[in-house]
Amino acid sequence: MDNNSSGDAVKNAFVQFKDVQKSYDGEVLVVKGLNLDIAKGEFLTMLGPSGSGKSTCLMMLAGFEMPTHGEILLGGKSITNIAPHHRGIGMVFQNYALFPHMTIFENLAFPLEVRKMSSDQIKEKVSKALDMVRMGGFESRRPGQLSGGQAQRIAVARALVFEPELILMDEPLGALDKQLREQMQYEIKHIHESLGVTVVYVTHDQSEALTMSDRVAVFNDGIIQQLATPEVLYEEPKNAFVAQFIGENNKLEGKIKSQLENNLCEVELAGDQVVTALNVQNREVGAETSMSIRPERVVLNPQENQVDNMASGKIVESIYLGDHLRLNVRAFGEQEFVMKVPNATEHSSLVEGTDVGVGWRSEDCRALDPFIPI
């Protein structure tokens, strides 16, 4: 895949990666020819599994790593050879990186003192930053006296205190429990919206990326697989990797049997069964394909004319999850489909061993390249 996002180019980009490559050993490229434009005020997330190159890109932008090839621009000027502390970039790490021997006030004052600000300016900016993360009154405490969530708020405040135009966040919520992590996602999102600062955020958590971002760059093997809004990534994945990595997904393997109108195609499954799907990548007749169907798009016991792909199945697992039932239904031989049935549905009969029908619209089933395990 061409690691070039020129089709998603941003007018008057604030951050630019131009043909950036990175190798640590001179042989293996961990970032491969990256071209990426980030708009001023945008919240862009670099998302991908471990080793995909996302954190390396962030470290190069921060100045802690040097590109092997290419250049990085900030505000139209190359920063490739500028030291990290001269780039004027705020940084939030997973481990908070607070000075344990300093009070909270002293932690936040430090980057202002480095910039030779007056004591009055420092007091004003520290107070403003603490209020922004709802931590006013904690000035005299030390990091060891804070909970994980409080420490992460202070880390965010320290990145904001000198009012940078760009903030980088590297897995900042990874050490928090699920409920606190979700709460902090919304807080960071709201801070971004109120300040309009540019944020580049790195995570391997796809739900976090979907919740917070204006756009998401999905990385794998040093290459951007897709760059799009959260909605487009989820609803219109360009390839099987993105379909599997973003959200939950059912997949069917088969071969393209014929081309139909409206970019649809017939796909032959094992056992000679045929279904129709959207031929997203215009795969040719005879080509192998991995079809992607979201669990919420699979219809339980569909009515006639409601769907154009139907099969008989049997429930092999039923899990009650409060607002919905999660059903695992075996259909098309040994193929298992995950389905999400709203709690409003009468579900007392949806138990293991029950015979049911499953179906989906062709437009909700995307015929993609063969899936390669992550």
What's the pLDDT tens digit per position in 183-238?
889 989 999 998 899 999 999 999 999 999 999 999 999 999 999 999 999 999 99
Is the pLDDT reported for residue 173 higher than 90? no
Average pLDDT, the chain: 90
59 within 8 A of 28, measured Cβ to Cβ: no
Dump pLDDT digits (tens) for 251-301: 889 999 999 999 999 999 987 889 999 999 889 999 999 999 999 999 999
In which band, very low, low, confident or very high, does the pLDDT at 167 lie, cut at 50, 70 and 90? very high
Which of 72-81, 91-100, 220-229 is predicted with the least confidence, judged by mean pLDDT?
Answer: 91-100
The rounded percent of the chain whose pLDDT value lies above 70 is 96
Dump pLDDT digits (tens) for 12-23: 799 999 999 999
Give the CA distances from residue 105 to residues 142, 149, 155, 224, 366, in Å, rounded to whole numbers and listed in that order.
Answer: 9, 17, 12, 40, 53
Residue ranges and CATH numbers for the domains of the chain are 6-241 (3.40.50.300), 248-368 (2.40.50.100)
Res 314: pLDDT: 93
Q: Is 319 left (phi over 0), alpha (psi -120 to 50) or beta?
A: beta
In which band, very low, low, confident or very high, does the pLDDT at 5 lie, cut at 50, 70 and 90? very low
Write the DSSP string, 321-343.
Answer: -SSEEEEEEEETTTEEEEEEEET
Is the pLDDT reported for residue 347 higher than 50? yes
Res 170: pLDDT: 92
Structure tokens at 231: 């909605």
Res 287: pLDDT: 94
Highest mean pLDDT among 100-109, 187-196, 242-251: 100-109
Res 6: pLDDT: 40
Could you tell me which residue, 31 or 172, shows the higher pLDDT? 31
- For residue 274, the cross-strand partners are 268
Q: Which amino acid is at 38?
A: I
In which band, very low, low, confident or very high, does the pLDDT at 345 lie, cut at 50, 70 and 90? low
Res 374: pLDDT: 54
DSSP label at residue 238: S
Is the pLDDT reported for residue 4 higher than 70? no
Helix (H/G/I), strand (E/B), else coil: 48: coil
Res 372: pLDDT: 65
pTM score > 0.75 for this model? yes
Res 60: pLDDT: 97
The rounded percent of the chain whose pLDDT value lies above 90 is 68
DSSP label at residue 300: E
Q: Quick one: average pLDDT of 36-41?
A: 96
Dump pLDDT digits (tens) for 139-165: 999 999 999 889 988 999 999 999 899
Res 273: pLDDT: 87
Is the pLDDT reported for residue 333 higher than 90? no
Is the pLDDT reported for residue 113 higher than 50? yes
Structure tokens at 325: 């039932």
Res 55: pLDDT: 94
Res 7: pLDDT: 44
Res 336: pLDDT: 85
Q: Find tokens 């092997």 and name the residue.
A: 68
